[in-house]
Amino acid sequence: MGQLGEVLERHLLCFGEMPEPDRQAVRALDGEVRNLPRLQDALREGDRPKEVVVVLSGFLYRYTMGPHGARQVHSFYMASEAPCLETLYIDYMDNNLGAAVDSRIGLIPHEMIYRVIDEFPEARKLLWRQTLVQAAIFREWLVRNSNLPAHAAIAHFFCEMFIRARAAGLSKGDSCDLPLTQEFVAEALGITPVHFNRTLKQLRDTNAVEWRSGRLIISDFDRLAGVADFNPRYLHLRC
């Protein structure tokens, strides 16, 4: 029973069920654990990683660098999530994975996972599905950043983060950790930090949400979801 395998098993079970033998096979996965200091990268564009990453604590983010030093964040990953599962079957990274705060990550060798995939169809199905859910999230972010005005986009982002935290068992009541700077989130939403800050103030004034010292508190989820036209359907969560 590897620590990493247990984390991955719990994560996969958010998206569907597996029979006990498959669960056991996933649970048996294990690998190296490593500290990843804030702003350090775990994977870089062009890398051909030989392990799959699991977030144990902290917050990771995936990004690409634009031509003029502009950074676009594609996604955030909280504890228990598995970014870049896709490295299993894609030749090389076309983006970067880094730590937004001091984090601890686990590295499960591809070889071990290939064996599970070959021998346990239900585990394979959930692994595959996890990568598809990632794609669904990218689609939703595309819609959000392309169509929603800043205040709705911010509300949408908060809703998603909270729902994901709750699914991962990381929320407490109506709040969860969100240890990011405004700049990070602004780069995920495709807006300027300045504009993000201004718009956040407006949202705060609605008393639906608060975000300070790394903690997100959603006192009126329904109102916030209404502002964002948020529907958690795309997350394909079972719980």
Which residue ranges make up the site for DNA (CB under 7 A)? 149-151, 181-183, 190-195, 197-201
Interface residues for a copy of itself in 153-212 (CB under 8 A)?
189-190
Q: How far apart are CA 193 and CA 190, in angstroms?
A: 9
Kindly state the helix (H) or strand (E) to which residue 103 belongs, with its residue range: strand 96-109
Show Cβ contacts of residue 3 under 8 Å, excluding neighbours closer than 6 positions: 30, 33, 56, 106
Query: Which is closer to DNA, CB of 129 or CB of 151?
Result: 151
CB of 3 to DNA, least distance (A): 28
Three-state SS at 175 = strand
Q: Toward DNA, which CB reaches closer, 101 or 168?
A: 101
To a copy of itself, the closest distance from the beta carbon of 74 in angstroms equals: 5
Measured from the CB atom, the residue of 149 and 226 that comes closer to DNA is 149
Name the minimum Å distance from CB 57 to DNA: 18
CA 82 to each of CA 66, 94, 132, 151, 198: distance values in angstroms, whole numbers, following the listed order: 25, 17, 13, 29, 33
**Cβ closer to a copy of itself: 1 or 90?**
90
Our CB check for a copy of itself shows the closer of 219 and 221 to be 221
Other beta carbons less than 10 A from residue 90's beta carbon? 13
Least distance in angstroms from the C-beta of 202 to DNA = 10
Picked from a copy of itself, DNA, none, the partner binding residue 139 (CB below 5 to 8 A depending on kind) is a copy of itself
**Closest among 109, 103, 114 to 39, alpha carbons compared:** 103
Say what angle helices 3-12 and 20-27 make with each other, to 10 degrees.
140
197 binds, among a copy of itself, DNA, none (CB under 5 to 8 A by kind): DNA
Closer by beta carbon to DNA, 5 or else 58: 58
For a copy of itself, the binding residues in 39-98 under the rule CB under 8 A are: 64, 66-67, 70, 72, 74, 86, 88-91, 94-95
Pairing between β-strand 175-177 and β-strand 215-218 as defined by DSSP bridges: antiparallel
- Write down the H helix ranges in the chain: 3-12, 20-27, 110-119, 121-147, 150-167, 182-189, 193-205, 221-228
Residues that bind a copy of itself (CB under 8 A): 16, 64, 66-67, 70, 72, 74, 86, 88-91, 94-95, 118, 121, 125, 128-129, 131-136, 138-139, 141-143, 145-147, 189-190, 229, 233-234, 236
